[in-house]
Amino acid sequence: MSYPLELTGNVILITGGAQGIGKATAELCAERGAAVVIADFNKDGGETTAAGIRANGGQADFYHLDVRSAEQVEALASFIREKHGKLNKVVCAAGVLLGPHLQPEEFPLEDFEKTLDINVVGPFLCAKYTTSLLEAAGNGVFVVVASGAGVFGGSSSLAYGSSKGGANGLSMTLDRHLASRGIRVNTIYPGNIITDMKLSVDVEAARKEGRPEQEAHDFAAANYGLPPGVAQVIAFVISDEADYLRGGVRTR
């Protein structure tokens, strides 16, 4: 199936673009004509993803980033302004899941705080330092990748579920604040998707329960979605064709 290059001329920032849903989104957006800026703490993965996009004829930069750092996110926005002169879309896909299957008394406070810093503070900092660029672009879209966890149900991780509920709340509140400035805000709620993060949780559960690790992989292959499927949803959501879309989109 072929698609029109509906993202041609757009500059798109994707945090967490080195792997999983973020990587699939970066690759698809570049395929559809956008210049993508991949920002991730995973330097090797991010550079490899950007290089692969360029090798296929697309436009991609990699920026090494810790989304918890205000100074680094502000510097990223400056880099985009200087390199591209504009920013049309932001996709906040950076995320972490720590402490699966731990009871409250077992959960390290530092892991809980780290999870919230990456999954909630990270998108806030991206909004803080990119809003002026998105407003100037005139077709700005800001997307937060939350989760079904913490919104429609629980999670294996107390921190992850709490953080994704917080990310959802941040996105809904940003929508109220930014609509008058011409910026559309949407939330994506992926369900069970085959990513390294999700598979590691399932494999750990199998180990604890004395089941073969392969059972976790087999169950995921039969029942979970794939990152490119979510990427297709995100690519539509940030396109001008989705101008009438409001709120969030839930995927499998």
Kindly tell me the sign of the dihedral angle through the C-alpha atoms of 191, 147, 39, 67: negative
Q: Which of 18, 56, 55 lies closest to 37, judged by CA?
A: 18
Burial 141-154 (b: 16+ CB within 10 A, else e): bbbbbbbbbbbeee
Q: Which of 58, 55, 18, 63 lies closest to 37, judged by CA?
A: 63
- Of 3, 63, 129, 160, which residue is the catalytic one? 160
Tokens standing for residue 217: 């992989």
160 is a catalytic site residue: yes
Task: Report, in angstroms and rounded to the nearest whole number, the Rg of the chain calculated over CA atoms.
Answer: 18
Q: How far is CA 43 from the centre of its chain?
A: 16
- Residue 218's SS3 state is helix
Q: Which residues are known catalytic residues?
A: 160
